[in-house]
Amino acid sequence: MPVMGLIFLRHAYSRYLAVKDGIEANLPRRGGKARPLTKEDFSQRGAIFLRPEAQFEYLVSLPDSAKRDREAFDALC
């Protein structure tokens, strides 16, 4: 069952990366700084906002797979 979760997470991460640059390019700027990314930015593009600790690259770098799965799903919530 954890394999299915990781497959879903990999898909969510791929979709996140596919829309992230476009979202960042269109964020309103004030004083030269863009506002932070939000869940709504991603949901409008059909993607899931992933905090850094829920991103696939971070999770793959963790040493223990059980810990990695647990942290992934905790971070998504």
Residues 33-52 have pLDDT tens digits of 999 999 999 999 999 999 88
Residue 37 in tokens:
């990314």
**In the chain, where are the structural domains located?**
2-76
Segments in 26-64 forming alpha helices (H): 39-43, 56-60
How do residues 25-34 score in pLDDT, each as one tens digit? Answer: 999 899 989 9
Question: Per the confidence metrics, is the pTM higher than 0.85?
Answer: no
Q: Tell me the three state secondary structure of residue 44.
A: coil
Segments in 26-50 forming alpha helices (H): 39-43
Q: Tell me the three state secondary structure of residue 35.
A: coil
